[in-house]
Chains A and B, each alone.
Chain A
Amino acid sequence: MKTLLFFVMLSFLSGLNFAQSDFEIKQSFLTKYKQIEVSIEYANDATECTGIAEQIEKLKNEFSSHSTMLNDALYPDDFASMFAKLNKKLSIRQTDVSQIGDLKVQVTELNDQLLKLNQENSELMSQVQTLRRSATKNAKTIDSLKYLVKRLSAKLKERDELVMGMVDSLFQQITVIPATVNDYESNGVFKKIATTNFFENIKRSVYDNMKFMRVTQLTTEDLSEIRGQQKELSSRWQKVGPSLAKVYLQNKQQANEVTQINELFDSWKQEIDSQVWNRVNDLFVKQNIHLLQFKSGEEFANSITTFVQDEIKNYGVKGKDESDKTYTLFVDSTWFKEVEPTWLPYLLNNKMISEANKDSLDSQIKMWKEKVSPSQFPLWIIYVVVGIIMVTVLSIVLFRKPIKVDNDKPEIDS
């Protein structure tokens, strides 16, 4: 009885043929169309795109019987042009999605390589430290230390490139999608950050570079290279960092990571500067010259000036030989041998000292030199001799008799 009742109801309901308005058909078409547009915008992978292509085909079939009416109703578009637009949108999204897919694969590969490199670098770093601490500093030890440092430097660079590859890929992903938290979520940016240990890898890269500087003795060339590396990595991070900071406003932990990385890049820069000043100071310490501590161009200039002026003022107080020895060690063995040819150009190029600082230092050294070995030949004698020569030349020019030239000489007939 129940079944019979059900069939009666069903046949009654299906018999109710509600008339449909064209306007409603148009509205229904536009609503479904808009839904597909939104799905396209949020599609994450190729499978979703394929599903959307099927939905488009379904929509087309569903409304094809109304295409004539829709051609007019959708003015200034028409049925065909609306689908052409939708397919174009889907095709653009498919390209984006495939690029993101490729990047994901690349990132996974990069991650594996990174793990390997991190391990190798740690081993190399500890070997370098062991060798540096080793008491026996024979030629063999020094050679192997040099070799290890070189290898470590190359490996660090290789690892940095990989990390920055990750930063770049994330940057590309961020730029192809709208920047709101939900969009980042739906496009897997957060997932990528989590699965690739994104923040950890960047931090590790910066830490290792700082550690490398501490365990090795770097030349000006090395320091220039590291400074270039710091600038390059920092500028690449700056492309992504501010966007991520904005996105992670809600997430305290992740926001802290972004801030920490920003601070790390600053610390790295300060560490490079600090290494440079330490290296310069070491040159003087090696000669048993102890300057006031300096950490900037101004402090460096003040430290040298104070030392030189003290030496000039106290010249001979502790004995002439002692003062001369200090001068020789400072000026000849350190300043003219290493600081001026090697470090001053580096400091100037990297704007760690100003031209004015350099000029002031040059004049201080000149004054000290004048004090230690004054010119033997008095300068006033040169001035007098030059004066006499000038007066003589002027007298000759002014008081000489003019030579008379006789132009009226009669012609001699031959």
Chain B
Amino acid sequence: MKSIIIAAAGILLFSFTGCSSLTLSPANFSWAIESVLPVNQQGIVTDKRYAVSFNAKPLFFAEKGDSALYTDEELHIIKNEKGYYFITAKSFSGVYVFQETEGALTMTNKILLKNNLVNPAFNARFPWIELVDGSEKYLLDNKGFKGN
């Protein structure tokens, strides 16, 4: 009986091992430089180099309360090593952090700033993302400012 239980436990353990997910790590998803991309008339932003495109209208709705206020706007986008997208634009109140999900970008965080951004730009400063606005500089990750 004891040996039967041991055999059954062994089979169960083996089958669980076979079903466990495969992880490739470490992985680095960071972009070397931000992309500054225009929003087209349909509200879509496309980055040819990284083959990414998404609908930006909900972002403008979230920021300005009007999804139609995207004409002539440019988005600053960068991706950190963990694969989070940092997105902002001129006059935005902060930086939006997104994660890739099935067929969508889903917001995981919004990093608010004291003042609206005037001339924002992202730099890759491993492992951080540097947000530059005039003479102001902030180091960010997907959770917020460095040190918070």
- List residues of chain A with CB under 8 Å of any chain B CB: 16-24, 26, 69, 71-73, 75
Contacts and interface: CB of A to CB of B under 8 A. Distances in A.
If over half of B's interface residues share one DSSP class (helix, strand or loop), that class is named, otherwise mixed; here it is strand
Contacts of A23: 33-36, 76, 121-122
B135 A16 contact: yes
B49 A75 contact: yes
B111 interface: no
Contact of A21 (B32, B49, B123, B135): B123
Interface of B: 32-36, 49, 76, 121-124, 132, 134-137
B33 A22 contact: yes
A29 to B, nearest CB: 11
Given A22-B123, A24-B121, A73 B33 contact: yes
A16 B136 CA distance: 11
A69 B122 contact: no
Given A24-B121, A75-B49, A18 B32 contact: no
A93 to B, nearest CB: 30
A17 B135 contact: yes
A20 B132 contact: yes
B89 to A, nearest CB: 13
A276 B53 CA distance: 79
Contacts of A24: 121
Nearest to B119: A21
A66 to B, nearest CB: 10
B32 A19 contact: no
Given A19-B137, A21-B122, A21-B123, A26 B33 contact: yes
Contacts of A22: 32-34, 121, 123-124
Contacts of B36: 23
Of residues A22, A24, A69, A71, which shows the largest number of chain B Cβ atoms within 10 Å of its Cβ? A22
A22 B78 CA distance: 11
A19 B136 contact: yes
A31 B95 CA distance: 29
A18 B119 CA distance: 11
Contacts of A19: 132, 134-137
A21 B134 contact: no
Given A21-B132, A22-B123, 11 more contacts: A18-B134, A19-B132, A22-B33, A22-B124, A23-B33, A23-B76, A24-B121, A69-B32, A72-B33, A73-B33, A75-B32
Of residues A21, A23, A72, which shows the largest number of chain B Cβ atoms within 10 Å of its Cβ? A21
A22 B33 CA distance: 6
A23 to B, nearest CB: 5
A79 to B, nearest CB: 12
Contact of B34 (A16, A21, A75): A21
The 10 closest A-B pairs by CB, nearest first: A72-B32, A21-B121, A73-B33, A19-B132, A22-B123, A22-B33, A19-B137, A23-B34, A21-B132, A73-B32
B32 to A, nearest CB: 3
Nearest to B76: A23
12 contacts: A18-B134, A18-B135, A19-B132, A21-B123, A22-B34, A23-B34, A23-B76, A23-B121, A69-B33, A71-B32, A72-B33, A73-B32
Nearest to B121: A21
Contacts of B33: 22-23, 26, 69, 72-73
Nearest to A27: B36
A17 B33 CA distance: 21
B102 to A, nearest CB: 28
Contacts of A71: 32
A16 B135 CA distance: 7
A75 B32 CA distance: 10
Contacts of B134: 18-19
Contacts of B135: 16-19
A127 to B, nearest CB: 77
A76 to B, nearest CB: 9
Contacts of B137: 19
A319 B33 CA distance: 111
A345 to B, nearest CB: 71
Of residues A23, A24, A73, which shows the largest number of chain B Cβ atoms within 10 Å of its Cβ? A23
Contacts of B122: 21, 23
